Amino acid sequence: MEHQHKHQCTHEHPSAHEHHHEHAESHDKHAGHHTADFLKKFWISLIITLPIFFYSEMAKEVFNVRGPEFFGWQYVLLLLGSVMYFYCGWVFLQSAYAELKARLPGMMTLIAIAVTAAYGYSVFSILSGGMHDLMFELASLIAIMLLGHWIEMKSVMGAQGALKELSKLLPDTAEVVRGNLTETLPLTDLRVGDIVLIKPGSKIPADGRVIEGQSNVNESILTGESKPVQKHAGNEVIAGSINGEGSLKVEVSTIGEKTFLAGVMRLVADAQSSKSRLQMLSDRAAFYLTIVAIVGGGITFVAWLLAGAGTLTAMERMVAVLVITCPHALGLAVPLVAAISTTMAARNGLLIRERVALEGARKIDTVLFDKTGTLTKGEFGVVSVTSDEVLALAAAVETHSEHPIGKAILKEAQKRRLKIGEVRDFNTIAGTGAEAKVDGVSVFVGHRGGKDIVVEKSGVQIGTIVIADIVRPEAKEAVAKLKQAGIAVAMITGDSEEVAKEVAKELGIEEYFARVRPAEKSEKVKLLQSKGRIVAMVGDGVNDAPALAQANLGIAIGAGTNVAIESAGIILVKNDPRDILKIFNLSRLTYNKMIQNLFWATGYNVVAIPLAAGVLASKGIILQPWLAAVFMSASTVIVAINAVLLKNKHI
């Protein structure tokens, strides 16, 4: 039966295909190292630092203590310092070499310069019989750096723990049906087209389509939907979801990297490896600080020599500059916040594909919703009907129809538990409707020129049925909350003006675009942007892809669609438009934390570097190397603590 109904659905789903995401090449300062390595070397460095401390200027000046001086004690100090430099500090020297080889000098290069300068100065001082050394500065710098990098790597690993948890969702084996027998095979041996038996309570091993059986499937871990989903022949199932009480036979449709679960894992991994604008800014700052350290240290050394100071004094000033310039806090400022925010997002049903997207979300002032499948369920439902008699007669005729509208009418009648009469002589009237005899009485269901469905009994109209795409209950709340937050809401659809107006009115949306073809959706986004508006596009289908890409922020409803992976920056796993407000809240919280950390990480350098160089030496103010190390270490700890505090925020 063909109805000319009031709602024309333009939503399409793309076919599955493997997603390939390429990252720009970048150097990983932690490459080749493990979290445990940093922790082990930190404890060793801490043990070595303790005896070195008692022979330091800090112990003497601040605590008025001094270690016992025995024959050859200076050489014992040199030995301990050498262990610190060549063993504990080797990770930084190695990473600095990799940075320089890649022509990307950064924070590891600066750390290496600082510790090398401190060690070289100390060796020269001890072997030449000097009274001062920087072994404590060397030891404390390495110890703090090891601790800081361990904190950073631990946090990043914690954020990536979601990937490990996701991987645990899949079973190790699958029961493949071979004729009348079943064979247990490793998951890696599954092929597209295989029939697998899913027993009650077991995990579904691959994406597929149910061909036999009926059961409730728990998809909450993957989609966030707490209510088990009814599955029967023809329904799709997701790898990693848990079968209920019934048995299912599933034809495998997708395996390996093409599965929904693999796509989710890929999104999380991509988010962890991607960089925000602020992180890229911090990387550039580290590069320039390297230049500042080398040039500033050289100028400081020469200036003190020209001022008549001795070589050791000039070297001491230079080392102080190099130590204070060390940007570990800067390197920690953004990545740690980003790792924590990505984890928070995943726990709240948000998959961040690009950190840049999350960072920019705070600026959004307009949200443009696709209607079908986003604000609405993408399925027809009975909005109103004249009477139960009208509905029962229409449902009887529609028992022989496969049309979505016919199914909606029948579903509503079954929901109301109406008695459906015996149907004979069913006939489809192309472009109009259908007719049949129900309990011997002629009944017509269809259109007579109007937008509503007409029901006629024995040639006389007895009532009408209004059919529409069902509005998501959560969509109303989402629109209301967005407007309350001062964000404008608009809607775009390929449906008629009447349908668009009706849905917009129901949701409280004043601005909408109707009769928009898929290819024209991106033009409407451009139109809003031309008015100076910063637009987030929310969609779920392949026809939304150009608009998602054009928008300042693309948000996809449903993580299972390939278009979401390709076109959107952020994915709503729970298919809940109310989560959009969480994106904006998390974006603001994340950005504020990053700015706070960047301000602290760079701000102290502005003050400390001139003091370390000795610009106020004439006034008796000189920043000693040991104090420079303390300031640098303190900034690192403050940045780390400030980042971790983000976990306590609610979005």
Count helices and strands (H / E) in the chain: 22, 22
Which of 204, 239, 229 lies closest to 16, judged by CA?
239
CA separation for the pair 463, 440 (Å, rounded): 19
CA separation for the pair 241, 378 (Å, rounded): 23
**How many other CB atoms sit within 10 Å of the CB of residue 530?**
8
Which of 11, 7, 2, 5 lies closest to 495, judged by CA?
7
Tokens found for residue 312: 């050791």
* 454 beta partners: 446, 464
Query: Looking at this protein, which amino acid is placed at residue 622?
Result: I
Which of 608, 633, 602 lies closest to 623, judged by CA?
608
**How many other CB atoms sit within 10 Å of the CB of residue 39?**
17
End-to-end CA distance of the chain: 48
Tokens found for residue 622: 């000189």
Which residues are part of the catalytic machinery? 370
* 198 beta partners: 248
User: What b/e string do you get for 69-87 counting C-beta neighbours within 10 Å, with b at 16 or more?
Assistant: eeeeebeebbebbeebbee
Q: Taken in order 102, 103, 104, 108, is the CA torsion positive or negative?
A: positive
* 535 beta partners: 366
